[in-house]
A and B are shown apart, each in its own frame.
Chain A
């Protein structure tokens, strides 16, 4: 009776002749790891000193800070999976891609969260028959243009109120352009193969709970990789190198784009960081705010986990280039020069 899980995990497949040796189930390994960690707490604590100072704090901070938004994301994704029929999206979204992509982009306004939450939602939308380009436009626009982010931007840039509108336009334009490019050039086989849920199977609350569990553990797992990468880069690269590139416009824009990718800040706090870069021209700050929510080291990890590596290696560079160009052009239009 007590060995249900081992049995489940190690049950030889029907029709396989040879017997497999006993392997512990994941639940047993999980318990063992936790037990060992508690028993070996002191040696582990000493060993953790090899990490760069502050690494574990920044790592935990990014994870803790992202969790509420990720939970919101998987709850929305679970609702879509369990309670919203697939025909809802075909009815609501325009049939033509040229319309569906911008509409999906504008829908991003409705999700008050940061970028980690929108990954499982976009995945679920594709699952429910939304065309990938439209789901990707939503993925990119939601973290950039939702009301919480716009209010935070307005607070950070009190004396440059145009920044809010510039950010809204640049974020939406990036999402729509990337969605459009993907619609023309993207191939379905770049996306990880989808396994369609049999229609009518396990709808309602059990399906909801199951979707929340699967989405959360998967997306959070990759969030952890991204947080570790961001913490490493943060604690190894001194931030002061930014101060020396402010003189050159091109250099400062590129540096801000790379920094947005590397820092992997939550889109609700990046405006405050951008405002604090004293020597950077305003166009560079807009590029920072456009690239950050669209593509960063944490998002690439989550996207390659959710949509597959072949997707991520194409989507991330595309998004990066489009965001830099759109951010720069929007900045020039809004602020009438580099400044």
Chain B
């Protein structure tokens, strides 16, 4: 790919990035906090692309003037020629204007690197396919235990792992400590680890995230979501492992981009009122004692009411 095409492509990538960010579609791929970074990066790419295009046009004009209308054909520099022959012209290392050398000296190798063409792939995918946010299939694929690290049942059969660790070195439960300490299966059933949650938002059927609902259903000492109906927004997904029948209301939680999405699920009995991947807003209450190791700690909930909604501006939780 020659310099002009590279410049145009770079500006194009920047433009697409700006368009995706301004239109708000970027929240299907990355967390909203990335917005300013994407605007900055897109702007820089557009400016740099246009500048690179102008520079290479200026260089062409100069060469034409110098060579009396004959476009750039410079003398091949031995090192560059060798690099071009072996197809190993390093982009970073090839000086400005040497592409003309390569092109002039080796007509067969005028696009000294084909790598830039690959940049078209994400641009075309964004323009043509416009991928939607991850949905129910990703929930099934990425499904795993919803127990928070430090709160989950340890699968090690040896006593050293299970019962000794139940006390923990950090004095019992620590929220998402990621340490890998765990409660034994029996211990979890007998003595559910709990923590204090802040009070629910005021008002009737307060809205909370599905992740928060799951955490409260699993670990809230006061069973706030068992007593108080709350409103959650998610999409309909198939029931998880360990449940027979019913369906899930699910949402994916991401910490950076869609590549690290983790599903958060609530189980509901009965036939799903809407097809899979339909976004719904539901008023639910948690059913106590339903989350266990064999259903990946997915709590069951009773639905008070449910209605179809449009996909939220940010389809993920964080």
Write the residues of chain A forming the contact surface with B, with a CB cutoff of 8 angstroms: 4-5, 7-14, 16, 20, 25-27, 29-30, 33-34, 37-38, 41, 44-45, 48, 53-54, 56-65, 67-68, 71, 75, 77, 81, 120, 123-124, 127, 156-160, 163, 192-198, 201-202, 206-207, 209-218, 220-222, 224-225, 227-228, 230-231, 234-235, 238-240, 242-243, 246-247, 263-266, 268-270, 272-282, 284-285, 305-306, 308, 339
In chain B, positions 55-105 with a C-beta closer than 8 Å to chain A are 55, 60, 71-73, 77, 79-80, 82-83, 86, 88-98, 100, 103-105
Q: How far is the CB of B256 from chain A (nearest CB, A)?
A: 3
A30–B180 CB distance below 8 A: no
Bound Cα distance A38, B126 (Å): 12
B122 touches which of A227, A234, A306 (Cβ 8 Å):
A227
B117–A221 CB distance below 8 A: yes
Q: How far is the CB of A306 from chain B (nearest CB, A)?
A: 7
Taking A158-B175, A218-B92 as known contacts, 9 extra A-B pairs with beta carbons closer than 8 A to each other, sorted by chain A number, are: A13-B105, A53-B137, A57-B258, A59-B131, A124-B92, A198-B95, A213-B3, A239-B143, A280-B180
B141–A41 CB distance below 8 A: no
A11–B107 CB distance below 8 A: yes
Query: Sorted from nearest, which 5 A-B pairs have the closest CB atoms?
Result: A159-B177, A269-B256, A221-B115, A275-B178, A159-B174
* Contact status of A37 and B176, CB under 8 A, knowing A201-B95, A246-B156, A279-B155: no
A67–B17 CB distance below 8 A: yes
Q: Which residues of B contact A53 (CB under 8 A)?
A: 137-138
19 of the cross-chain contacts (CB-CB < 8 Å) are A8-B100, A11-B71, A33-B120, A57-B131, A57-B133, A59-B131, A62-B259, A197-B95, A201-B95, A216-B48, A234-B259, A243-B145, A243-B155, A263-B260, A269-B256, A269-B260, A278-B149, A282-B180, A305-B115
Q: Which residues of B contact A246 (CB under 8 A)?
A: 155-156
- Asked whether any CB of chain A lies closer than 8 Å to the CB of B202, the reply is no
B180 touches which of A156, A212, A263, A279 (Cβ 8 Å):
A279
Q: Which residues of A contact B226 (CB under 8 A)?
A: none
B156–A247 CB distance below 8 A: yes
A218–B115 CB distance below 8 A: yes
Bound Cα distance A114, B40 (Å): 17
Q: Which residues of A contact B111 (CB under 8 A)?
A: 26
- Asked whether any CB of chain A lies closer than 8 Å to the CB of B38, the reply is yes
A71 touches which of B45, B55, B137, B147 (Cβ 8 Å):
B45
Bound Cα distance A65, B177 (Å): 26
Write the residues of chain B forming the contact surface with A, with a CB cutoff of 8 angstroms: 1-10, 12-13, 17, 20, 26, 28-30, 34, 37-38, 40-41, 44-45, 48-49, 51-52, 55, 60, 71-73, 77, 79-80, 82-83, 86, 88-98, 100, 103-107, 110-111, 113-122, 124-129, 131-135, 137-138, 141-145, 147-150, 152, 154-157, 165, 170, 174-182, 255-260, 262
Which residue on A lies nearest to B16, using beta carbons? A64
Q: Which residues of A contact B141 (CB under 8 A)?
A: 54, 235, 238-239
Q: Is the interface of A mostly helix, strand, loop or mixed?
A: helix
Q: Which residues of B contact A124 (CB under 8 A)?
A: 92
Q: Which residues of A contact B124 (CB under 8 A)?
A: 33, 37
B107–A10 CB distance below 8 A: yes
Which residue on A lies nearest to B21, using beta carbons? A64
Bound Cα distance A33, B123 (Å): 11
A26–B90 CB distance below 8 A: no
Bound Cα distance A197, B148 (Å): 54
* Contact status of A8 and B71, CB under 8 A, knowing A159-B176, A159-B177, A247-B155: yes
Q: How far is the CB of A25 from chain B (nearest CB, A)?
A: 6
Which residue on B lies nearest to A272, using beta carbons? B255
A225–B118 CB distance below 8 A: yes
Which residue on A lies nearest to B152, using beta carbons? A278
Find the residue from A8, A27, A159, A265 having the highest chain B CB count within 10 A. Answer: A8
B90–A239 CB distance below 8 A: no
* Contact status of A224 and B121, CB under 8 A, knowing A65-B30, A339-B179: yes
Q: Which residues of B contact A264 (CB under 8 A)?
A: 259
Q: How far is the CB of B286 from chain A (nearest CB, A)?
A: 20
A68 touches which of B10, B41, B82, B132 (Cβ 8 Å):
B41
Q: How far is the CB of A115 from chain B (nearest CB, A)?
A: 13
A57–B132 CB distance below 8 A: yes
B144–A240 CB distance below 8 A: yes
A68–B2 CB distance below 8 A: no
Q: How far is the CB of A15 from chain B (nearest CB, A)?
A: 10
Find the residue from B38, B110, B119, B129 having the highest chain A CB count within 10 A. Answer: B129
A163–B178 CB distance below 8 A: yes
A195 touches which of B48, B79, B105 (Cβ 8 Å):
B79
